Structure 1
Amino acid sequence: RGYIDPETSEEFFFVGRPLIVHEKFSGGIFVFSSIDKIHDLMHSIRNWIILSIVGSIILAIGFTLFVSKRLSNPLVRLEKATREIAKGDLKTQIEITSHDEMGALEQAIKDLSIELNNYRINRSEFLANISHELRTPISYLKGYAQLIKNNQYQDQKDLETYSTIIEKESDRLSKLIQDLFELSK
């Protein structure tokens, strides 16, 4: 129950109980307690709870930003390095910063860069060798065909020799092209 003092306008909470002695009513006891102090205490607790919640949110946001920055910096660095590698800069240096999953990823990208560089070198050497291997029979074919065309042979035996060379070099060229075709598969 509640009671408001008409003079001070202070609100009280009260409880009353009868006093019964030898089964006869002997009076009563009333206990009054000011509710204003309880309200002040509740407002104080509410303010502390609100302050704690706001502080916790600010702390959580700060911690989240710190952790996300700490986790994302190596990823941003790796992303930049992989873009450089993708552009063809295979000499891009990747520093291994840890021995965890991030370090393993850094090592894998570094290994990939090395393998791509080796592939590029081997491909260049391979294409140079193929170019040389293809030029040789083509030079023979062209040279002996010009000799025949310009009648620069002495007898039928020379003509047959030149024709045989042209045939062998054509077969060699055909075999090289077939090997390249098989290699491309």
Structure 2
Amino acid sequence: MKKWSIKKKIWITMICMLMTVIVGSIFLTLFLYDELYVEKQIDLLVTEGEGLAEFYREYGAEDPFFERLNWSEQNIASDVLFSDDPMQLGSGAPFEPYSNENIITFEERQLLLEGETVVMVRPHPHFGQDILGVAIPLFQDGHLSGSVLLSMPLSEVYEPFIQIRTILIVSLTLVILVIILIGNKVINNVVKPLSDMKQVSKLMAEGDFSKRIDVTCVDELGQLAHSFNILSASLEKVEDNRREFLANVSHELRTPLSYMKGYAEAMEEGIIEQKKGLAIIQKESNRLERLVNDLLDLAQLEGDSYPLQCEPIAFAQLISDVIESFELVVTQKNIRMTKNIDEGSIIYGDSDRLEQVIRNLLDNAIRYTPATKGITITLTTDKEWSELIIADEGIGIPEEDLLAVTERFYRVNKARTRNSGGTGLGLAIVSQIINKHGGMFELSSKVGQGTSARIRLKTM
């Protein structure tokens, strides 16, 4: 199958439309000339000829008839020939004085003898133009006694259409010039965005999402190009996140593996005590296990088909159970824990996932709250929502980092990695779980004053 470019298709379409207009205009002009104006002139000659026939029936070849004959010749701008010999019009008019030929043919003469009106078109032998003629039989006392021929040059009939033809030719010429002068520019305005999209899509298929389309119009093509730029920017962001994620995963996995390998080699060579080396290897393996589990959790939660095991939950009891599991850590770190929980809070959700949310938030609060400082846990309920707030008096998060802390592997202090614990995925998992439950998750913080995590879930 032959492939044509859009530009070629548009040009072909425009040429076809132009040819259709030209051909249609020609046919319209011919129709107006042949079917309307010429027919009108024939009707005029026939009507005038029939009027002469009426005079002839009444007066015969007398002065009143000849006066009417002269009047007709002067007023309808035609040549009028009278013959009292129905067998032959012998004078030669309307070709006189340039020809001695008979005016009508034998067949037409037979029609006249039968009383029929004859319409004829004859070429003028001298001027090279056609002559329109109408022959009318003349009857007197019921007998054919003559004929009258009214004729006029067709050039006079055609003359009114010369101006129309000139206007038509000029108009078509202007249309062609307009198409030639601005058609290419218009087509380029249509084709260029599409060509740019083709180039950008080709680069996108090769993995380069940095190219953008120059949007110079606000029509449908401009809107499409703008949407294409949005798509390209989104894909570029996804690609950057993917690369960053792979780099972070590689780094996070490589570090505990390097620790484990290094301490195993050191134990084998006797450089470090076996007990101490095994403790470090166990610590790093636990960390590696948490990282892998968190990655699996996040991958599942980001999928659209991840099923939640939802059921009615006594939210207050779930929170109390999680707090109780942290009591030892809180006591050892000398942190004050304050609870203000509405025991009547009942929600509908996945208890395991919501427990994971509370553990992640409480673990962060404990980790970043200094000794002697406090953590306040508040649960309130109204007709539609249950709201959980976990507020600490820790180091806080800078304002410019608040929106990014829910991203995977994001850390406020890039130097604070393993010493502070955590995989950098906790808040990302919290955000995904709350979204799956149709709730809201917000963070507010001030550096040096603490951080507040706010969760809203619909009540039953």
The TM-score normalised by the length of structure 2 is 0.30
Task: Assess if the C-alpha contact under 8 Å between 2:210 and 2:236 holds in 1.
Answer: yes
2:258 aligned residue (119, 128, 139): 139
Deviation digits for residues 119-177 of structure 1, max 9, x if unmatched? 2332332222222212222212211221233233335x335424523542452454366
Is the partner of 1:32 in helix, strand or coil? strand
1:74 aligned residue (164, 174, 189): 189
Q: Superposition pairs for residues 89-104 of structure 1, below 5 Å?
A: 90-98=210-218, 100-104=219-223
Deviation digits for residues 97-128 of structure 1, max 9, x if unmatched? 12x32221122122223223322332332222
- Offset of 1:3 from its aligned partner? 6.3
Matched to 2:101, the amino acid is S
Matched to 2:151, the amino acid is S
The CA distance in 1 between the partners of 2:268 and 2:292, in whole Å, is: 23
Tell me the equivalent position of 2:147. 30
Consecutive unaligned residues in structure 2, runs of 5 or more? 1-87, 94-98, 105-133, 304-460
The CA distance in 2 between the partners of 1:130 and 1:41, in whole Å, is: 95
Matched to 2:187, the amino acid is S
Q: 133-142 or 108-117: which moved more?
A: 108-117
Consecutive unaligned residues in structure 1, runs of 5 or more? none
Matched to 1:92, the amino acid is R
Aligned length: 176
- Offset of 1:95 from its aligned partner? 2.3
- Offset of 1:32 from its aligned partner? 0.6
Tell me the equivalent position of 1:114. 233
1:85 matched to 2:203? The reply is no
Task: Assess if the C-alpha contact under 8 Å between 1:134 and 1:176 holds in 2.
Answer: no
Is the partner of 1:144 in helix, strand or coil? helix
Q: Superposition pairs for residues 156-171 of structure 1, below 5 Å?
A: 157-158=275-276, 160-165=278-283, 167-171=285-289
The CA distance in 2 between the partners of 1:116 and 1:8, in whole Å, is: 93
Q: % of aligned pairs identical?
A: 24
Is the partner of 1:31 in helix, strand or coil? strand
Task: Assess if the C-alpha contact under 8 Å between 1:93 and 1:110 holds in 2.
Answer: yes
Root mean square deviation of aligned Cα: 4.3
Q: Superposition pairs for residues 9-20 of structure 1, below 5 Å?
A: 9=101, 11=103, 13-20=134-141
Matched to 1:14, the amino acid is A
- Offset of 1:180 from its aligned partner? 7.4
The CA distance in 2 between the partners of 1:47 and 1:117, in whole Å, is: 66
Is the partner of 2:192 in helix, strand or coil? helix
Task: Assess if the C-alpha contact under 8 Å between 2:267 and 2:273 holds in 1.
Answer: no
The CA distance in 1 between the partners of 2:140 and 2:259, in whole Å, is: 133
1:128 aligned residue (218, 229, 247): 247
The CA distance in 1 between the partners of 2:166 and 2:264, in whole Å, is: 97
The CA distance in 1 between the partners of 2:191 and 2:216, in whole Å, is: 14
1:175 matched to 2:298? The reply is no
Q: In proportion to residue count, which structure has more strand?
A: 2
1:8 matched to 2:97? The reply is no
The TM-score normalised by the length of structure 1 is 0.63
Matched to 1:19, the amino acid is Q
Deviation digits for residues 7-31 of structure 1, max 9, x if unmatched? 43374541113134xxx76x84522
